[in-house]
Amino acid sequence: MKRGKDSMKWLEGLKAVGQDCLTVCQKLFKGIWNWIKKNKPAMFFIVSIVYYEIIIQAMTFGSIDIYFLYPVLFAIPVGCLLSLFSTPFHKIANGIIMGLFLLMFSFYYNFQMIYYDIFNDFFTFSLKGVAEDAMNTFADEIIHLIYINLGNIVILCVPLLVYLFIVVQYWIAGKPSRVERLTTGNHVEKFIGNISIYIKKNFYFFQRRPPKAQLVLSIVMILSYGITVLSLFIPGTGYHTPYDLYFNSGALSTQISKLGMVTATLQDMGLRPKYETGDKEVTLDPVDVPSIDVKPGPDGNKDPDNSNGDNPGTPNPEVTYNVLEIDFDAMIAGETNHVIKKLHEYYKTISGTTKNEYTGMFKGYNLIYICAESFSSGAIIEPELTPTLYKMATEGFIFNNYYTMFPSNTTNGEYAFCTGLIPDLAREKSNGSFVASKENYMPYCLGNAFDSIGVQAYAYHNHTKTYYSRNITHPNMGYIFKARNQGLSVTGWPESDYEMAKQSYGDFINMEQFHAYYMTVSGHYRYTFELKEDSDGNLVPLNYMAVKNKSATQKHQYNKNGEKYDEVCQAYLACHIELDKMLEELCKRLEEAGVLDKTVFVLGADHYPYGLSSKQYNNLVGETIDTGFDKYNSTLILYNSQMIHTMTEEERTVTKTCCAIDVLPTILNLFGFEYDSRLLSGNDVFSSAAGIAILSDQSFITDYVKYNASTRQITYLVDEYLIPQGYVEAVIEVVKNKCTASTAILNNDYYAILFPEAAAAHAASMKK
């Protein structure tokens, strides 16, 4: 009996505790609700920002994941901050400020939506200089996209439209006579009048907030920000986590997907936590990609006979390296700059790449090096349309696993292709890495490399000389540079690659040895056969190259699956017919001069053809392409006319995974240049170095795995048990190191520190 009474007391005590907890929760929620009712401007901003984030992610990424919690959490302190600025004044001033904030947000989110629609990437303030050039060039495309995206624009303006509706209703309810007239009118007028009264009573945004309330709101803002930052630790602090993206640099698209547009933009503008001293400035822990004995076979599984090795042919038994004698120990001992000392320590420790049977294969040959605008494997899908491209792609080295690195942004793609370095992805350059390198010593750029053996190099671009400041960057790479209206007479948009070739080959074709570099433009977006009216009232093509070669594409209207080509795909092919004509013209002139057999062609893309949607690219190639990785799989041409006669297809086929930064070191090795392979981000493809393709967001593909930095998802290309523990983490570290070191080389003119005499001679020659 006593035990029963004790049990009842225990239950009554538990019930009392439960009631107390319930009372506390009720008071807490009531307090929060009362605070919300008193801070309607802050809540309106918070809800609006969350709405913007939902819509922009749905429009660009197509989905929302669990990390969307962070854009929601960051919206709270941002909403409070905006409210603090829009409530301390007279009601009219407060209303105007609040409206301007919403107008600014609506414009910015719409701007990013349109920019993403054009470039398949987001606008970054760190490239505002080159972006201005691009936006001026794409004025017609921008107007076109605004027109076709009117519905999306309205959707992204909903918070602003709701606010304007509230303002109008508040104005209606502002005068009793106006309300009386409406409430005594017809049904519609009564409805409007009642809404106006309700809104004025319940959505009063414009009153001046007293200092005490401002202080409370400030405290809420600080606390919510602190809680949000602390919550970043929950998923961990490893690479590519929300924590890493917030406190360290990351690709803008990845930051937007995990932290939200507002937070990513603030960091893009330089408002990010920084460590000013100590080892946090530059962290470089030398790590090599772990070696794996088993190579992936054609089906992605174990290849028991290792027939798909790094290099065709039999490896050289005597192992030597492409490295120079640099006394890093002496440099470390005498260096006081923290960053440069870290670079010395890093490069002293890492391994160089091996020389191999292909070292010097093309020593003494001529080189034509082409960075082709928006080139892709889809450009050679129709051999009859682009026979020269097809011939070069199939009769030279065949790279089965070559990847472009960038979704858009020509200057970054060209920088990687020309320098073998990764551009500054931390977005700390207002005009991009190429422009930032304009006064740096760049000894391994091919113009300077050929100059070092007494060969004058030429560079050509068939658009304006100042576009991306090529008139400054390309002479610094060792070239005599010519562009539209500066040695080249080309017209229209985009300009003709064929005309560029016709007007340029005479500069070098009679030289004992030559090197020419071309940055093409005929393959540029927008792919259309449409005409527009010019200032004189004449109809002119929106895309000159597409219209010029349209008739040729009419004979090829179906892809390999028998599906009719989208008109955009046909226009894309028409543009690349002009690139094919350029190569045909060069081959013809070289053969006439008797030097074709002694000339090597290298051609790679600057970026993925962003002017094609995923659906359109699938239509072009006749298969469904993975938008995460496979869309970056491209064709690299490395061709000499004699290779088809001297090498079997098996000997010419390269299965190793590689990307744009690997092209330069591969060419340096093939042409027998003396260089230090440790000092480049890329590797000679024919060396024993592990294959890796790095994408702009630090995702990567190796011969064994794919790693998506945005989702942190690993896809195994071989049986998972073959991959040693810690392999992916080690490759992530390698990628981070390559990015960090490349940026440090750029920021500190590192090559000039290593080779001061050569750098001084180069600087003197640039002043002449």
Residue range 745-754: mean pLDDT, rounded:
97
Residue range 719-746: mean pLDDT, rounded:
93
Give the ranges where 479-595 is alpha helix by DSSP (H). Answer: 497-504, 544-548, 550-553, 567-592
Confidence grade of residue 303 (pLDDT, cut at 50, 70, 90): very low
Is 682's pLDDT higher than 90?
Answer: yes
Tell me, what's the pLDDT at 292?
A: 72
Phi and psi (nearest 5°) for 738? -60, -40
Confidence grade of residue 199 (pLDDT, cut at 50, 70, 90): low
Collapse the DSSP code of 349 into the 3-class scheme (helix H, G, I; strand E, B; otherwise coil) and give the result: helix
Q: Which two tokens stand for residue 618?
A: 């699938």
Tell me, what's the pLDDT at 278?
A: 34
Tell me, what's the pLDDT at 128?
A: 66
For 415-424, what is each residue's pLDDT tens digit? 999 999 999 8
Q: Which amino acid, 94?
A: N
Is 275's pLDDT higher than 50?
Answer: no
For 305-323, what is each residue's pLDDT tens digit? 343 444 444 444 578 999 9
Tell me, what's the pLDDT at 445?
A: 98
Collapse the DSSP code of 463 into the 3-class scheme (helix H, G, I; strand E, B; otherwise coil) and give the result: strand
Is 504's pLDDT higher than 70?
Answer: yes
Mean of the per-residue pLDDT values for the chain?
87
Which residues have CB under 8 Å from 398's CB, separation 6+?
649, 652, 653, 654
Contact 220, 80 (CB under 8 A): yes
Tell me, what's the pLDDT at 4?
A: 54
Question: Cis link prior to 609 (omega < 30° from 0)?
Answer: no
66-70, 116-120, 428-432: lowest mean pLDDT where? Answer: 428-432
Strands 713-716 and 705-708: antiparallel
Instruction: Please provide the size of the chain in residues.
Output: 768
243-252, 489-498, 543-552, 696-705: lowest mean pLDDT where? Answer: 243-252
Higher pLDDT: 540 or 38? It is 540
Confidence grade of residue 375 (pLDDT, cut at 50, 70, 90): very high
Phi and psi (nearest 5°) for 639? -135, 140
Closest-CA residue to 386 (of 635, 63, 129):
635
Question: Which range among 129-143, 188-202, 502-516 has the greatest average pLDDT?
Answer: 502-516
Q: Which residues sit opposite 366 in a β-bridge?
A: 599
Q: Which two tokens stand for residue 718?
A: 């071989």
Higher pLDDT: 32 or 686? It is 686
Q: Please report, in angstroms and rounded to a whole number, the separation of the first and last CA atoms in the chain.
A: 108
Higher pLDDT: 395 or 239? It is 395
127-131, 529-533, 701-705: lowest mean pLDDT where? Answer: 127-131
d(CA 416, CA 680): 10
Which residues have CB under 8 Å from 108's CB, separation 6+?
265
Strands 479-484 and 487-488: parallel
Tell me, what's the pLDDT at 384?
A: 93
Strands 658-659 and 692-694: unpaired
- Residue the block writes with tokens 């009264």: 197
Measured CA to CA in angstroms, residue 668 lies from 143, 418, 517, 745 at distances of 44, 11, 15, 19
Closest-CA residue to 644 (of 453, 393, 330, 346):
393
d(CA 522, CA 372): 9
d(CA 375, CA 520): 10
d(CA 278, CA 726): 28
d(CA 159, CA 48): 6
Higher pLDDT: 768 or 267? It is 267
Q: Which amino acid, 680?
A: L
d(CA 48, CA 163): 10
Confidence grade of residue 607 (pLDDT, cut at 50, 70, 90): very high
Is 340's pLDDT higher than 70?
Answer: yes
Is 14's pLDDT higher than 70?
Answer: no
Confidence grade of residue 553 (pLDDT, cut at 50, 70, 90): very high
Tell me, what's the pLDDT at 423?
A: 94
Closest-CA residue to 637 (of 392, 411, 445, 456):
392
Collapse the DSSP code of 725 into the 3-class scheme (helix H, G, I; strand E, B; otherwise coil) and give the result: coil
Contact 258, 70 (CB under 8 A): yes
Collapse the DSSP code of 510 into the 3-class scheme (helix H, G, I; strand E, B; otherwise coil) and give the result: coil
Tell me, what's the pLDDT at 496?
A: 98
Reduced 3-state DSSP string for 177-210: HHHHHHHCCCHHHHHHHHHHHHHHHHCCCCCCCC
Collapse the DSSP code of 533 into the 3-class scheme (helix H, G, I; strand E, B; otherwise coil) and give the result: strand
Is 602's pLDDT higher than 60?
Answer: yes
Q: 726 burial class (0-12, 13-18, 19+ CB within 10 angstroms)?
A: exposed
Helix (H) or strand (E) holding 561: none
pTM for this prediction: 0.87
Is 471's pLDDT higher than 90?
Answer: yes
Is 569's pLDDT higher than 90?
Answer: yes
d(CA 190, CA 187): 5
Collapse the DSSP code of 150 into the 3-class scheme (helix H, G, I; strand E, B; otherwise coil) and give the result: helix
d(CA 412, CA 647): 34
Neighbours of 402 (CB within 10 A): 27
d(CA 458, CA 212): 69
Helix (H) or strand (E) holding 654: strand 653-654
Tell me, what's the pLDDT at 64?
A: 85
For 170-186, what is each residue's pLDDT tens digit? 776 666 665 566 566 66
Contact 693, 449 (CB under 8 A): no
Is 509's pLDDT higher than 80?
Answer: yes
Q: Which residues sit opposite 369 in a β-bridge?
A: 517, 602
Measured CA to CA in angstroms, residue 323 lies from 93, 353, 755 at distances of 67, 8, 14
Tell me, what's the pLDDT at 410?
A: 86
d(CA 564, CA 149): 26
d(CA 129, CA 142): 18
For CA atoms 600, 601, 606, 608, the dihedral sign is negative
Residue range 707-717: mean pLDDT, rounded:
93
Q: Which two tokens stand for residue 360?
A: 């010097």
Phi and psi (nearest 5°) for 290? -60, 140
Strands 637-639 and 397-399: antiparallel
Closest-CA residue to 688 (of 316, 299, 294, 419):
316
Angle ∠(430,436,440) on CA atoms, nearest 5: 165
Confidence grade of residue 132 (pLDDT, cut at 50, 70, 90): low
Neighbours of 647 (CB within 10 A): 17
Is 280's pLDDT higher than 50?
Answer: no
50-59, 236-245, 501-510: lowest mean pLDDT where? Answer: 236-245
Neighbours of 391 (CB within 10 A): 20
Tell me, what's the pLDDT at 282?
A: 59
